[in-house]
Amino acid sequence: MADVPLRVLIVDDETPARRRLRELLSDCAGALPLACVGEAANGREALELLHAVSADLVLTDIEMPEMGGIEFARHVLKLPQPPVVIFTTAHDEHAVEAFEVNAVDFLVKPVRVQRLLAALEKVPRLRPVSATRLEALPSTARRFLSVTERSRVVLVPVEEILYLKAELKYITIRTAEREYLLEESLTKLEEEFGSRLVRVHRNCLVARDAIRGFERRAGGEGDAHWEVQLKGVPETLPVSRRQQSIVREIGRENRHRGEETTS
């Protein structure tokens, strides 16, 4: 075990911060066999990189453009052999507190070489942080949902989602191009993306921006119900009786928006 080098990936949007970590890793190399397998400037790049090289440990910054560290850590869990993730943070009482409460490993920047070495030595005994603990960390809504397809993590940008529909065990993500299968809870997704997605049915969340209109349709047993019409795709989605109020609410919003653009 001792002679297998520890493979480390560095993720930070600031070049000097990456250089500093690289220097510190080379300082540690004497005490512990390790190899820096790559660097990335944000979570998205790092995820892409992890399809090409494998790593045992990812040292990642938290706030980065395109994809932050916490979101990255959640997507990483979908890899067949997810690496351990340790966060690096400049300073923030709130974040640090949350990490401690949830027993998530982190290093405070500027990092001391002793602290880094201690963290590296722990890695073989660590297991990736669970999704539940990551969800408890303070973070903005994710920018992507991720699904595993043929052992690759595929990212679906949240703004491309037309609707999410719960079916038996999975949730179907529908974009203009295709469908994906996701294993998450619809309720939690509604909490996270409440400003973008609206519930039209017990099993369905629709992107507000994707709604083209509503139409009244007669049901099988004679009672009529509303159906959501969508931009870009032919299928329609039923609105449940409990969610009927949104028909008027969104209709009004759309009218307002129409008036704004015409005036």
Partner 1 sequence: MQPIIRQNAISLELPDLRNLGTILRIVLAVNAMTAVAALVSAPQLDLWTAQWLDMTAVVEPHLIAELAVLYALAPWLGRQSSTTGALVVAVITVGIGLGVHMLVARHVPQPPFAVLRHLLIALCAYATLLAYFGLRAKALSPAIAESRLQALQARIRPHFLFNSLNAVLSLIRSDPRQAETALLDLADLFRVLMRDNRELVPLADEIELCRQYLGLEKLRLSDRLSVEWHLNNMPGDALVPPLMLQPLLENAVYHGIEPSSAPGVVSINIFLKGGDVHAILRNPYQAEGGRHHAGNKMALANIRERLKLHFDAEGTLESRVRDAAYEVHIRIPYRTAKSTSARAPEPSTPSARRKPDRDTPAARSRLPAAAPALLDGRQGVPRG
Rank residues 38 and 200 by Cβ distance to partner 1 and give the closer one.
38
Q: Is 82 an interacting residue with respect to partner 1 (CB under 8 A)?
A: no
Rank residues 102 and 240 by Cβ distance to partner 1 and give the closer one.
102
Q: Tell me how far apart the alpha carbons of residues 85 and 256 are, in angstroms, rounded to a whole number.
A: 46
Rank residues 195 and 245 by Cβ distance to partner 1 and give the closer one.
195
Of positions 38, 43, 68, 82, contacts partner 1 by CB under 8 A: 68
Of positions 72, 87, 163, 214, contacts partner 1 by CB under 8 A: 87
Rank residues 109 and 225 by Cβ distance to partner 1 and give the closer one.
109
Rank residues 196 and 225 by Cβ distance to partner 1 and give the closer one.
196
Q: Is 56 an interacting residue with respect to partner 1 (CB under 8 A)?
A: no
Q: Is 62 an interacting residue with respect to partner 1 (CB under 8 A)?
A: yes
Cβ proximity of 40 and 55 under 8 Å: no
Residues 6+ apart with CB under 8 A from 186: 164, 166, 171, 203, 205
Q: Is 63 an interacting residue with respect to partner 1 (CB under 8 A)?
A: yes
Minimum distance from residue 138 beta carbon to partner 1 (Å):
5
Q: Tell me how far apart the alpha carbons of residues 185 and 95 are, in angstroms, rounded to a whole number.
A: 25
Of positions 64, 85, 117, 134, contacts partner 1 by CB under 8 A: 64
Q: HEC profile for the chain?
A: CCCCCEEEEEECCCHHHHHHHHHHHHHHCCCCCEEEEEEECCHHHHHHHHHHCCCCEEEEECCCCCCCHHHHHHHHCCCCCCCEEEEEECCCHHHHHHHHHCCCCEEECCCCHHHHHHHHHHHHHCCCCCHHHHHCCCCCCCCEEEEEECCEEEEEEHHHEEEEEEECCEEEEEECCCEEEECCCHHHHHHHCCCCEEEEECCEEEEHHHEEEEEEEECCCCCEEEEEEECCCCCEEECCHHHCHHHHHHHHHHHHHHHHHHC
Give the per-residue contact string, 12-31, with partner 1 (x = CB under 8 A; - = no). -xxxxx-xx--x--------
Q: Is 43 an interacting residue with respect to partner 1 (CB under 8 A)?
A: no
Give the per-residue contact string, 106-145, with partner 1 (x = CB under 8 A; - = no). --xxx---------------------------x-xx-x--
Minimum distance from residue 104 beta carbon to partner 1 (Å):
12
Rank residues 139 and 243 by Cβ distance to partner 1 and give the closer one.
139
Of positions 8, 11, 28, 61, contacts partner 1 by CB under 8 A: 61
Residues contributing to the site for partner 1 (CB under 8 A): 13-17, 19-20, 23, 41-42, 61-66, 68-69, 87-95, 108-110, 138, 140-141, 143
